[in-house]
Chain A
Amino acid sequence: MTKDILTIGGLELTSRLFTGTGKYRDDSLIPGVCEASGSQVITVALRRVDLESGTGNVMDFIPRHMRLLPNTSGARTADEAVRIARLARAMGCGDWIKIEVISDNRYLLPDGYETAKATEILANEGFVVLPYINPDLYVARSLVDAGAAAVMPLGAPIGTNRGIRTREMVRILIEEIDLPIVVDAGIGRPSEACEAMEMGADACLVNTAIATADDPAMMARAFGRAVRAGREAFLSGPGARAGMAVASSPLTGFLDAGTAA
């Protein structure tokens, strides 16, 4: 098999699992998670970053080889997301930005309109923009036009660990959108990450399920393997599946009846 590379914003990635930095019982677990998962991209909420702190800064625990994907968690409008992104770049977090614009804290569902506005502004400023969205075809198309580098549809609302509840909508994005599709949020188990990859997603972002596991590094390794397994299954071109076993052809058997007679 030729090397399976995912390219986003000109960066070639061999791992298709993105990880996060939130919800850990101790940030010192993060390096072990990065190593065990093989992940090369890690997202961090800029609101949590404290470069002046003597009391522990999450950035100190992110291995240097990781590509930082700062996110705009806390932004309620496009304007706030843009400000956070600019601040992230000014703080030395690089040009990648995951746009999260959420003004509904009950379900934490992203605002597609504001997300598209922020994406356009930031893409024009040279950011590599990865917007987090509901898997909505029209929003995704507007993001393509706005200059997004990838699209990150949710599998289920953030932190719910409910799996790929938006399966059919994600499938449509995979089929229709000519950008990497990174399934983000809702993935609670390695089998669900595997399922997303089998469907043809280009990558998965998993945070809660790893960070809140009793053994985050072991769970990270399991997710890394599941993502690879799902990817290989997708690339191998699985055989068509039938909905049920079919032993004969009760409806079309008559077509053969004449030849048999």
Chain B
Amino acid sequence: MSFYATCTEWMNAGLDERLAAMTETDVRRALGASNPGPLDLLAMLSPAATPHLETMARKASGLTLRHFGRTIHLFTPLYLSNFCTNHCVYCGFNSNNRIPRSQLTMEQVEAEARAIAATGLKNLLILTGDCRAKAGPDYLRDCVAVLRRHFPSVCIEIYAMEEAEYAALAAEGVDGMTMFQETYDEKLYPSLHPRGPKSDFRFRLDAPERACRAGMRVVNIGALLGLSDWRHDAFLTGLHAAWLMERHPEADIATSLPRMRPHVGAYQPATVVSDRDLVQVLLALRIFRPRLGITISTREAPAFRENLLPLGVTRMSAGVSTAVGGHAKSDGDGESVGQFEISDGRSVDEMCAVLRKHGYQPVFKDWEPIFADRGAA
């Protein structure tokens, strides 16, 4: 099975015309649906829904409260390696970029783990560039073995793997994976990812499904909004999530909503995704699939992240560094360049205080590894 057929069918279904044809009646019907379908999602993402964001927000807020309570799960990324063979035109790790490349040794992984664990975080997301020669499955397994001594939950955001490779990592205790499709626009995709393993659109598109089959508990997907038309990519993200949920009800399917930010000297996004646009995406996805986990990253500014809290967010990162070895090093040592610029550099303690101020409980631990021998009596 593949989401590819559904993806291509909808991408060729005249999305622009359908979006433009949506009316207020379609939006109201979507908001009243007990089990919203694809056209309901499209209506909520359409220009016709834009004047109804407050109504959508009330519904989304109620659904989030019922299903997730007043809690926000916290995690932080750990960059293990920035060697990369891809040429993604928007990414700081692009192999053409002349940046210092490095990869953590096991001693450095241990040091990073200790530094992060000292903040109280229990959920770690490990990242690498796409370079199997440097950060191959064996290297990852070694890292996971070190990290699992400090964190009950270790998730991966790495290159697309085969199912057996995911299964091997799951057996080592990796309980989640994140895979950004970046864009679901197959025609645009090659110009953004001209060379390297990531240029294989289909192999990447099917990676979340392979991870589900391999037994990953949390599978997080998403598009980098702004690379293509954000309405198209948000729509396909929702459909992809629903497709995975239907076939893998045993997995927790989640999404992140990163957006390109325009800045001087860097790749300029095709479309600018405004705050209002991002809120519309968040609300539409929450109403479409009320149990979908939704992450807002530190790409977003502090005040904006806080305003999003009641609208459907369930997970946030805190104490973030996107540089290799960025947690244990003091500020002056930072020879490594980050993958992207972060807008919210608040520490874990600061994020906890902010969440509590807004009436949310920061949740550090939400998983107990039971595959390890300590789970057996």
Answer yes or no: do A and B interact.
Answer: yes
A interface residues (Cβ-Cβ under 8 A, vs B): 22-27, 46-50, 53-56, 74-76, 80, 83-84, 86-87, 89-90, 103-108, 159-161, 208, 211-212
A-B contact list, 14 entries, CB within 8 Å:
A23-B68, A26-B361, A27-B361, A48-B363, A74-B217, A74-B367, A83-B375, A87-B374, A104-B249, A105-B250, A105-B251, A159-B66, A160-B66, A161-B66
Contact of A159 among B67, B249, B252, B374 (CB under 8 A): B67
Q: Which residues of B contact A161 (CB under 8 A)?
A: 66
Determine if A105 and B252 form an interchain contact, defined as CB atoms under 8 angstroms apart. yes
Determine if B361 and A25 form an interchain contact, defined as CB atoms under 8 angstroms apart. yes
Determine if B360 and A25 form an interchain contact, defined as CB atoms under 8 angstroms apart. yes
Give the interface residue-count category, chain B. 35 or more
The residue of chain B having its C-beta at the shortest distance from the C-beta of A160 within the complex is B66
Given A90-B377, A105-B252, A105-B291 in contact, is the A50-B66 Cβ separation under 8 Å? no
Determine if A212 and B291 form an interchain contact, defined as CB atoms under 8 angstroms apart. no
> Is B376 part of the binding interface, using a Cβ–Cβ cutoff of 8 Å?
yes
> Is B299 part of the binding interface, using a Cβ–Cβ cutoff of 8 Å?
no
> Is B120 part of the binding interface, using a Cβ–Cβ cutoff of 8 Å?
yes
Q: Which residues of A contact B367 (CB under 8 A)?
A: 47, 74
Q: A74 vs B245: C-alpha distance in the bound complex, in angstroms?
A: 16
Q: A47 vs B370: C-alpha distance in the bound complex, in angstroms?
A: 10
The residue of chain B having its C-beta at the shortest distance from the C-beta of A86 within the complex is B377
The residue of chain A having its C-beta at the shortest distance from the C-beta of B67 within the complex is A159
Determine if A48 and B120 form an interchain contact, defined as CB atoms under 8 angstroms apart. no
> Is B364 part of the binding interface, using a Cβ–Cβ cutoff of 8 Å?
yes
CB distance from A186 to the nearest CB of B (A): 11
Q: Which residues of A contact B370 (CB under 8 A)?
A: 75, 80, 83-84, 87
CB distance from A33 to the nearest CB of B (A): 13
Count A-B pairs with CB separation below 8 Å. 94
B351-377 toward A: CB 8 Å interface, digit per residue (1/0)? 010001001110111111010001111
Contact of B250 among A27, A50, A86, A103 (CB under 8 A): A103
Determine if B65 and A212 form an interchain contact, defined as CB atoms under 8 angstroms apart. yes
> Is B71 part of the binding interface, using a Cβ–Cβ cutoff of 8 Å?
yes
CB distance from A94 to the nearest CB of B (A): 15
Q: Which residues of B contact A25 (CB under 8 A)?
A: 69-71, 356, 359-361
Q: A46 vs B366: C-alpha distance in the bound complex, in angstroms?
A: 9
Q: Which residues of A contact B363 (CB under 8 A)?
A: 48
Q: A56 vs B71: C-alpha distance in the bound complex, in angstroms?
A: 14
CB distance from A211 to the nearest CB of B (A): 6
B217-252 toward A: CB 8 Å interface, digit per residue (1/0)? 100000000000000000000000000011001111
The residue of chain B having its C-beta at the shortest distance from the C-beta of A47 within the complex is B368
| Sample of 16 further A-B pairs with CB below 8 A, known A24-B70, A159-B66 | A23-B68, A25-B70, A25-B71, A47-B365, A47-B368, A48-B363, A50-B122, A50-B365, A53-B122, A53-B365, A74-B367, A87-B368, A104-B250, A106-B291, A108-B291, A211-B69
The residue of chain B having its C-beta at the shortest distance from the C-beta of A214 within the complex is B359
Given A25-B361, A53-B120, A103-B249 in contact, is the A48-B366 Cβ separation under 8 Å? yes
Given A83-B375, A106-B245, A106-B291 in contact, is the A49-B368 Cβ separation under 8 Å? yes
Q: Which residues of B contact A26 (CB under 8 A)?
A: 356, 359, 361
Q: A54 vs B349: C-alpha distance in the bound complex, in angstroms?
A: 12
The residue of chain A having its C-beta at the shortest distance from the C-beta of B71 within the complex is A23
Q: A106 vs B252: C-alpha distance in the bound complex, in angstroms?
A: 9
The residue of chain A having its C-beta at the shortest distance from the C-beta of B248 within the complex is A105
* Interface residues in B49-102 (C-beta closer than 8 Å to A): 65-71
Q: Which residues of B contact A159 (CB under 8 A)?
A: 66-67
CB distance from B289 to the nearest CB of A (A): 8
Q: A50 vs B268: C-alpha distance in the bound complex, in angstroms?
A: 44
CB distance from B368 to the nearest CB of A (A): 5
Q: A215 vs B63: C-alpha distance in the bound complex, in angstroms?
A: 19
CB distance from A191 to the nearest CB of B (A): 18
Contact of B66 among A83, A89, A212 (CB under 8 A): A212
Determine if B68 and A83 form an interchain contact, defined as CB atoms under 8 angstroms apart. no
Given A26-B361, A49-B368 in contact, is the A84-B375 Cβ separation under 8 Å? yes
Determine if A54 and B361 form an interchain contact, defined as CB atoms under 8 angstroms apart. no
Q: Which residues of B contact A23 (CB under 8 A)?
A: 68-71
Q: Which residues of A contact B352 (CB under 8 A)?
A: 55
Determine if A83 and B69 form an interchain contact, defined as CB atoms under 8 angstroms apart. no
The residue of chain A having its C-beta at the shortest distance from the C-beta of B352 within the complex is A55
The residue of chain B having its C-beta at the shortest distance from the C-beta of A81 within the complex is B370
Q: Which residues of A contact B152 (CB under 8 A)?
A: 50
The residue of chain A having its C-beta at the shortest distance from the C-beta of B253 within the complex is A105
The residue of chain B having its C-beta at the shortest distance from the C-beta of A24 within the complex is B361
Q: Which residues of A contact B368 (CB under 8 A)?
A: 46-47, 49, 74, 84, 87
B276-314 toward A: CB 8 Å interface, digit per residue (1/0)? 000000000000000100000000000000000000000
CB distance from B351 to the nearest CB of A (A): 12
Q: A124 vs B68: C-alpha distance in the bound complex, in angstroms?
A: 34
CB distance from B288 to the nearest CB of A (A): 12
Q: Which residues of A contact B291 (CB under 8 A)?
A: 105-106, 108
Q: A56 vs B70: C-alpha distance in the bound complex, in angstroms?
A: 16
Determine if A53 and B70 form an interchain contact, defined as CB atoms under 8 angstroms apart. no
